[in-house]
Structure 1
Amino acid sequence: MILHYIYDPLCGWCYGAKPLVQAAQGVLPVIAHGGGMMSGANRQAVSPQLRNYVMPHDRRIAEYTGQPFGEAYFEGLLRDETAVFDSTPPIAAVLAAEHIAGRGLELLGRLQIAHYVEGLRIADEAVLLALAEDIDLEPQAFQMAFKAVGTDHHIKDSRAFLAKVGGQGFPTFVLEQDGQFTLVDISPWLGKPQAFAQWLSESLPSQAPSIPVQACGIDGCAP
């Protein structure tokens, strides 16, 4: 049994699901697939319009999941019109961490805190290198892997997988068993990571396919 996690580092609902991912890792293998929500043509400079669009969603995510959002994010990053939201560099960092140390999901969690709590620009290479070092990844090995990973190909494959399993956005969780894929609706478990882990360990699970209710759209935060 494998839990596939189709995510984006700039998706607020993925940040809301962060404790569920961590809890699930104690029960079964979790494989991350970066979806590129704000990659390529969907990358977006911070603007008043973007801020006004995402803030109500972020407030709802905080209320629904209990995940903290910092003032450095709301009043710092979301007011910094020189910043650009681009999913590709942080996905590359996650792939690099996975490649050199099997710690991609750990770095993803650190990136989410950096973005949503500390208000850091996680599309900037210097920030990514510092955060990788912050979790004790070897700097030179990380930097070499970061520059070598095939991020665009990974995003293309992740989106193809999302379409194959019938997912509608980020995050999408999919259980794989004996070549069969079952979508997992995480809505009942948001804010309840231990209950989610217990459900996974006890059910392993028999659930009809469903579509996650709480999710970011696949093509970003278009006002």
Structure 2
Amino acid sequence: MTTFTPAALVLHYIFDPLCGWCYAAAPLVKAAREVPGIQVQWHAGGMLTGDHTRTITADWREKVMASDQRIAEMTGQPFGEAYFNGLLNDIGAPLDSEPPTTALLAAEALSGQGLEMLSAQQKAHYVDGRRISDPAVLRELAASIGLDSAAYDAAYAEQSGVATHEHIADSRQWLGMVQGQGFPTLALEFDHPEQPGQRAVQRLELGEWLGDVSGWKQQLAEWVEQIAALNPQQAGDADPSCGPDGCELPPR
């Protein structure tokens, strides 16, 4: 289980590198990282792993293109010609979330750049039309965010297999705990207003914020102020091992 020292507010982001709606949420996650008092904790949930891996087919292309066009209209996120008319026509190209998840863990372990690696993966996939299930492509992306190739190779090997599977299992625990229905899911963790020393977790409704980055940032800043006012002595002092077995869901 991932452990960390929580800030006054922790935004838990449960996603998959090959999830189009997670790409739609990327501007919101980036914006959250810019709000003082917010810590973003990511959880990659392995959407296309194990028995759920697949390859690009004509049916898949038709399905995701309709979704991608809606994402572009709602959020302004760019989709490249190399993606629409290149990768999505690459029949048989693998769609496996495990290698890019391992790469995220490697980047995080090396320099805390898991989310930077995710951004590089999403651009490579949705704009440049590259196969981000290919470890060779992932190695190039690691270099593009400034990671030493030899160090990355060692970290990737260390995070492969069991470590990646444990991360995915932990992420799915989070998804279940916050009653998320799929990817992406966002949840806010904060000091419980009525139980000093305890943390609470509340799932957020994402749809209303897609395409409204400024409104989202304003709302996050307001939540930071509200939590600080309710618990001025507790901010940052919570149990650092808060996780699926330790956080409480507030009453609805």
Q: Note whether the superposition's TM-score is higher than 0.5.
A: yes
Assess if the C-alpha contact under 8 Å between 1:65 and 1:190 holds in 2.
yes
Secondary structure in 2 matching 1:37 = coil
Out of 125, 128, 135, the residue aligned to residue 135 of structure 2 is 125
**1:162 deviation in Å?**
0.3
Partners of 2:165 and 2:31 lie apart in 1 by 29
Confirm or deny that 1:57 pairs with 2:70: no
Secondary structure in 1 matching 2:128 = coil
Partners of 1:194 and 1:151 lie apart in 2 by 34
Out of 206, 229, 233, the residue aligned to residue 186 of structure 1 is 206
Closer, same or farther in 2 for the Cα pair 1:166/1:101, shift >3 Å? Answer: same
Confirm or deny that 1:80 pairs with 2:90: yes
Secondary structure in 2 matching 1:4 = strand
Partners of 2:28 and 2:90 lie apart in 1 by 30
**1:197 deviation in Å?**
1.4
Out of 3, 9, 25, the residue aligned to residue 17 of structure 2 is 9
Aligned to 2:221: 201
Per-residue CA deviations over 1:34-75 (Å, capped at 9, x if unaligned) read 011111111111111111111101111111111011111111
Assess if the C-alpha contact under 8 Å between 1:111 and 1:122 holds in 2.
yes
Out of 176, 188, 203, the residue aligned to residue 175 of structure 1 is 188
**1:195 deviation in Å?**
2.0
Q: Which runs of 4+ in 1 moved over 4 A?
A: none
Out of 14, 28, 53, the residue aligned to residue 20 of structure 1 is 28
Aligned to 2:117: 107
User: Which residues of 2 match residues 143-182 of structure 1 at below 5 A?
Assistant: 143-149=153-159, 150-178=163-191, 179-182=199-202
Partners of 2:117 and 2:68 lie apart in 1 by 21
What is the aligned length? 209
Aligned to 1:68: 78
Out of 27, 35, 55, the residue aligned to residue 45 of structure 2 is 35
Aligned to 1:142: 152
Partners of 1:107 and 1:189 lie apart in 2 by 24
Assess if the C-alpha contact under 8 Å between 1:3 and 1:30 holds in 2.
yes
Gaps spanning 5+ residues in structure 1: where?
Answer: 211-223
Identity %, equivalent residues = 50
Partners of 1:189 and 1:46 lie apart in 2 by 30
Partners of 1:40 and 1:77 lie apart in 2 by 22
**1:209 deviation in Å?**
8.5
Aligned-pair RMSD on alpha carbons? 1.5
Closer, same or farther in 2 for the Cα pair 1:127/1:209, shift >3 Å? Answer: farther
* Counterpart residue identity of residue 53, structure 1: K
Tell me which structure has the larger Cα radius of gyration.
2
> What is the TM-score with the length of structure 1 in the denominator?
0.90
Closer, same or farther in 2 for the Cα pair 1:82/1:106, shift >3 Å? Answer: same
Assess if the C-alpha contact under 8 Å between 1:184 and 1:209 holds in 2.
no
Gaps spanning 5+ residues in structure 2: where?
Answer: 1-8, 192-198, 228-249
**1:82 deviation in Å?**
3.2
Partners of 2:214 and 2:185 lie apart in 1 by 19
Aligned to 2:4: none
**1:194 deviation in Å?**
2.5
Assess if the C-alpha contact under 8 Å between 1:183 and 1:209 holds in 2.
no
